[in-house]
A and B are shown apart, each in its own frame.
Chain A
Amino acid sequence: MPLFDYSLLLTGKYHDMLVAGLWLSLQLLAASLVCALPIALVVAMLRLSPLAPLRWLGFAYVESIRNIPLLAHMLFWYFGAPELLPEGVKQWLYAGHIEAYSAIVALSLYTAAFMAEDMRSGIRSIPAVQFEAGRALGFGWLATMRRVVLPQALRVTVPPLISQTLSLWKNTSIATVIGVAELMYQAGQVESATFRSFESFAFASAAYLTVSLAITALATWYHHRFPVRTL
């Protein structure tokens, strides 16, 4: 038996399993990111709103999500939440890929809480006079946000959002717990089928690192291309 069997990783059934896992992980990343961004924006708006009950709502969302581990979220959305739904919906869910949907829900809600905080601090870094000037010109609260404050906040907010995306990428691995056949799950499957733990974990590690590196490179590029302007 060779010390490190490359052929296992380059061709054949196990290669296909690992690549399918990587592809599903990337899909989880994309789907969760697309869902998380709008939720995060809404929550950030709630937290900055002039109405106290809305602010509390935003605060409650962020704190309750951030202080519970993602694993507990996953278990809840996979085992717990479907039981609370009506029978018809439940049947329909169990017929499909319920584990993948649960994972996307958990990842999106979890990531959105962190992203909302980054957006909030990005928005708060814009001088208050900008907002006041917008209001003085007759824009409503939402219109001022949308037309004056948010476009300026974008530059400050994107870098932390990219690093949250990096966390999201690493967090997709936790979906393995509820049986989503993503990269970590497939690595485990290949390991138990072939007993080549070194090869399968090396593949998974290299894949995680490569995507992490790409996301970090994106952050560096953005930092140079769109440096933060100071007024």
Chain B
Amino acid sequence: MEGWAAELASGRPDAAWDLFLDRYRRLIFAAIRHYAQDYDDVMDVFARVCEALREGDLQRLRTYAAQPDHRARFSTWLVTVVRHLTVDWFRHRDGRRRLSVVAEGLPPLRRRIFEHVFLDQRRHIEAYELIHAREAPTLSFKEFLGELRATYSAVTDGRRGRVLGELGGTPPAEEAPAAASPNDIADTRALLEQAFGALSAEDRVALELYVVEELPAADVARILGFPNAKAVHNRVYRALAAARARLAQVGIGRGDL
């Protein structure tokens, strides 16, 4: 049992906290700095992480320590928690205000897209529908997609780019689909879900992590318990072939999207 956990179990949360912070301070900073590069952001997020971990007499640490078996190392759990707290800090209050500064140099339409997609985490189609209904009735979906890509490109390139990438999710593809409206996209998406949904959960996750999230095959193999990266390549290749065949059956071609 680690020292901090022993102190916690002995009812000495202050001593537990001192030991915990002594041991993990540098890791916490490193994990924050993976997402945030601005000095003031890092210090403010660190304060928030400490505050959150101390809440309820170290409730989060207490909950972790009380688990009968740990499926991940404590350091990995901590990196996960710090990731959430960092992203949440940027999503709310002070962090949100700081991120808003990023949008100040953008044209009005891209600023609005930024607010919907990065700050409010709306789906791209939802963002389009709101903008189209409220302030830009003549904006076509294709034009919107162009503006969306430009917004992603502009805001994920700076000092706060990595955390904005976390908030914005997967950026749109380089080439816009040919579909003219969100309704077409929604219809096509339903067919896509049908095709990919027919895959096993394991194949689907392998495909998503390798293709969409662009994780290295070795990492995907570790996550899914595959023997090696080659096994990931094989599974993804077969899954893609199966999806391709199903899509062809329902008449979806590349030019339809």
Whether A associates with B in a native complex is no
A residues with a Cβ closer than 8 A to B are: none
